[in-house]
């Protein structure tokens, strides 16, 4: 392929990783980001001495990060100072009218022993479960690390034979129930579906591969937070001459004779280039920036899709240490049917929500002032609804109470800083379809060849990267998405 000028719309991890790959090959690459900060969902902000990762906080699938850094000829450890967390996370759960807890480790023997004490026979079952997850992870990655053109790709004999080895018929909740009877063990083994933006009852069982990620690989933390990944990508991109423009929202795209001719920024600047790669929300870009006849996927298509939940996030600065918390903490509610029903069926705020709390100060001394705690509190909630100011505050109060129960501490009098981020903020800040936090969920019909393609079928110089296309949701996945769009461009552009 001859050297091209390339405009990337959106400076999320997907856009930043693509910029590095294309610039390293000698192309002239510019990234245009709507917000003040590069990183997209993996942005960062600081207030009153606290530094908050705005979105992702769990560094998972280290093999995929290494694959990417190898591909660009860099040693990942020159860029990221990674700490392995132990425990990986702490789970709080109500049982017999008390709040119990269990630490989860990336140590199969240790977890097997813990589970055995809770349910006779479950230790060996856990080992069996993990053996299958490990085997299927390898096959699953073969499916993830490739582009698809059509359903026929998926049905090719060699692919289909491998696919048969994965559990594609049943769902993860039923699959887990075959192994474990104890509710809390079931919840822990199904919890990884939160990374996929779907309910366990909608998630194909082959995503048990996430248990391999959880219990065999574990959770790492890059010092400085997950935003350090964005910082590293920008540093490498600059080495190859990438130009980065923040506060540069693309508002119009002009097309002519089957190609995107140029795009217009909010300040009126016209940008012309050979290729355009969209990291911005694919659903909103296609339906709002392109005329109907040039949309590969129309509103009708997106409206039928299952989007991941949104999030009700509280960024809180607490003026004391909270000893009961680990770096990552989960509160599993008693009645998960109610909370999943609220998210996926009834589209209301759950009465008894499950909660995730990240306290990165447990590992990183630089994210909170000495003796204080930085909390990222996340409740998955339905997407697509409006939350009134009154509802927002009463939901915040409900969440605060649960956090007080988890920590056994009074919080209200110790909150030095607090910011709430919810559905409307996802829409406003990231142009997210229906305010989804994560993009298209990983149901069976939204996996592999069933996901939207990473190229336009109507405009020959328009491509997509990020969580709505292949392979899917999560920082490691969108980094793979960058490698896939590069392959796609090499295949399509001469
Ligand atoms: C609360 C939360 C927790 C998460 N936790 C984890 C986790 O622990 N581990 C993990 O691996 N993943 C996690 N994820 C998922 C992960 O953050 C995302 O999958 C990933 O960061 C998405 O990257 P992306 O490049 O596809 O999209 P984005 O990060 O959304 O980037 C797209 C960019 O496009 C910009 N944009 C939109 N419209 C325009 C426009 N018109 N012009 C210019 N720019 C535009 C947006 O501002 C944004 O910066 C989490 C996400 C959230 C929200």
| Most informative mutation of 9, 12, 198, 310 for ligand 1 (most atoms within 8 A of CB) | 12
Could you tell me if the CB of 438 is within 6 A of ligand 1? yes
- For ligand 1, whether the C-beta of 356 sits within 6 Å is no
In the chain, what is the straight-line distance between the N-terminal and C-terminal CA atoms, in Å? 5
Whether the pLDDT of residue 167 is over 70: the answer is: no
How far does residue 287's CA lie from ligand 1's centre (Å)? 19
Pocket of ligand 1 contains residue 233 by CB under 6 Å: no
What are the contacts of 424-433 at 24+ separation with CB within 8 A? Answer: 424/386, 424/387, 426/310, 426/311, 426/383, 429/35, 430/12, 430/35, 430/40, 430/41, 430/281, 431/34, 431/280, 431/281, 431/284, 432/281, 432/284, 432/310, 433/281, 433/283, 433/284, 433/302, 433/307
pLDDT at 303: 97
154 has a pLDDT exceeding 80:
no
For residues 329 and 327, give the distance between their C-alpha atoms in angstroms, rounded to a whole number.
7
pLDDT of residue 362: 98
Cβ of 57 less than 6 Å from ligand 1: yes
Nearest CA to ligand 1 atom 2: 55
For residue 12, the ligand 1 atom closest to its alpha carbon is 31
Q: Given this model, what pLDDT does residue 149 score?
A: 82
> Which tens digit of pLDDT belongs to each residue from 457-486?
999 999 999 999 999 999 999 999 999 999
Higher pLDDT, 18 or 166: 18
Q: Residue 331's pLDDT is what?
A: 96
Residue with CA closest to ligand 1 atom 27: 12
Mean pLDDT value of segment 118-132: 97
Ligand 1 atom with least separation from CA of 14: 25
pLDDT, position 161: 62
Please determine, for residue 195, whether its predicted confidence score (pLDDT) is greater than 60.
yes
Residue 159 has pLDDT above 60, yes or no: no
CB 88 within 8 Å of CB 218: yes
Question: Is residue 318 in contact with ligand 1, taking CB distance under 6 Å?
Answer: no
- Please give the residue that has the higher pLDDT: either 165 or 274: 274
Residue nearest to atom 48 of ligand 1 (CA): 40
pLDDT given for residue 151 in this prediction: 66
Tokens for 60, please give them.
Answer: 């998972």
Q: Is the Cβ atom of 227 under 6 angstroms away from ligand 1? A: no
Q: What ranges do the domains of the chain cover?
A: 5-81+224-305+441-492, 107-217, 306-430
CB of residue 10 inside a 6 A radius of ligand 1: yes
Closest Cα to residue 278, out of 54, 474, 40, 57?
40
What's the gap in Å between 247 CA and the centre of ligand 1?
16
* CA–centroid distance, residue 475 to ligand 1 (Å): 8
Instruction: Determine whether the shortest distance from the Cβ of 478 to ligand 1 is under 6 A.
Output: yes
Atom of ligand 1 nearest to the CA of 467: 26
Cα–ligand 1 centroid distance for 40 (angstroms): 4
Q: Which atom of ligand 1 is nearest to the CA of 284?
A: 38
Nearest CA to ligand 1 atom 4: 56
Task: Please give the pLDDT value at position 424.
Answer: 98
Q: Is the CB of 197 under 6 A from ligand 1?
A: no
341 Cβ partners below 8 Å, 6+ apart? none
**ipTM rounded to 2 decimals:** 0.99
- In this structure, what token pair is assigned to residue 220? 């790492």
What sign does the dihedral 388-393-398-403 (CA atoms) show?
positive
Q: Is the CB of 133 under 6 A from ligand 1?
A: no
Q: Which CATH architecture has domain 5-81+224-305+441-492?
A: 3-Layer(bba) Sandwich (3.50)
Q: Which of 8, 55, 42 is closest to 230 using CA atoms?
A: 42
Separation of 236 CA from ligand 1 center, angstroms?
A: 20
Q: Across the strands, what pairs with 252?
A: 264
What is the fold of 107-217? Guanine Nucleotide Dissociation Inhibitor; domain 1 (1.10.405)
Distance 41 CA to ligand 1 centre (A): 3
- Place 440 in a pLDDT band, splitting at 50, 70 and 90: very high
pLDDT in tens, 200-246: 888 888 889 999 999 999 999 999 999 999 999 999 999 999 999 99
Whether 327 is in the pocket of ligand 1, judged by its Cβ within 6 Å, is no
The finding on whether 449 has its CB within 6 A of some atom of ligand 1 is: no
- Residue 46 to residue 35: CA distance in whole angstroms: 15
């Amino acid at each position: 392929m001859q050297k091209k000028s390339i405009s990337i719309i959106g400076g999320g991890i997907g856009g930043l990783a693509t910029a590095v790959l294309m610039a390293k090959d000698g192309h002239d690459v510019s990234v245009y980001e709507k917000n003040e900060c590069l990183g997209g969902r993996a942005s960062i902000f600081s207030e009153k001495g606290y530094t908050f990762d705005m979105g992702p906080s769990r560094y998972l699938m280290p093999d995929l990060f290494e694959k990417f850094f190898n591909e660009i000829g860099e040693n990942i450890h020159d860029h990221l100072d990674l700490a392995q967390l132990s425990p990986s996370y702490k789970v709080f759960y109500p049982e017999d009218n008390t709040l119990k807890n269990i630490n989860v480790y990336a140590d199969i023997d240790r977890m097997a022993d813990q589970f055995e004490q809770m349910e006779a026979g479950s230790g060996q079952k856990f080992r069996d479960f993990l053996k299958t997850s490990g085997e299927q992870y390898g096959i699953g990655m073969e499916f993830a690390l490739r582009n698809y053109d059509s359903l026929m790709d998926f049905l090719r004999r060699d692919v289909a034979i491998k696919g048969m080895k994965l559990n594609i018929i049943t769902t993860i909740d039923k699959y887990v129930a075959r192994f474990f009877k104890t509710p809390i063990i079931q919840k822990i083994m199904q919890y990884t579906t939160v990374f996929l933006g779907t309910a366990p009852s909608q998630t194909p069982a082959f995503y048990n591969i996430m248990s391999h990620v959880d219990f065999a690989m574990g959770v790492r933390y890059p010092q400085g937070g997950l935003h350090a990944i964005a910082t590293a990508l920008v540093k490498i991109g600059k080495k190859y001459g990438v130009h980065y423009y923040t506060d540069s929202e693309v508002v119009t795209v002009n097309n002519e004779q089957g190609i995107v001719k140029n795009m217009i920024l909010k300040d009126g600047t016209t940008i012309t280039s050979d290729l355009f790669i969209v990291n911005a929300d694919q659903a909103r870009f296609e339906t709002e920036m392109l005329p109907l006849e040039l949309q590969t996927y129309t509103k009708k298509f997106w409206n039928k899709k299952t989007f991941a939940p949104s999030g009700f996030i509280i960024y809180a600065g607490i003026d004391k240490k909270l000893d009961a918390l680990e770096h990552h903490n989960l509160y599993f509610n008693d009645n998960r049917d109610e909370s999943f029903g609220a998210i996926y069926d009834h589209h209301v705020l759950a009465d008894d929500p499950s909660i995730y709390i990240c306290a990165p100060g447990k590992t990183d001394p630089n994210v909170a002032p000495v003796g204080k705690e930085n909390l990222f509190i996340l409740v998955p909630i339905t997407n697509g609804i409006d939350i009134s100011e009154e509802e927002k505050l009463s939901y915040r109060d409900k969440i605060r109470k649960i956090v007080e129960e988890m920590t056994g501490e009074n919080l209200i009098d110790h909150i030095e800083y607090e910011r709430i981020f919810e559905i409307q903020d996802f829409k406003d800040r990231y142009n997210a379809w229906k305010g989804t936090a994560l993009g298209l969920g990983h149901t069976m019909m939204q996996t592999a060849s069933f996901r939207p393609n990473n190229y336009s079928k109507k405009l020959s110089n328009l491509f997509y990267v990020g969580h709505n296309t292949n392979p899917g949701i999560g920082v490691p996945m969108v980094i793979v998405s960058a490698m896939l769009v590069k392959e796609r461009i090499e295949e399509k552009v001469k």
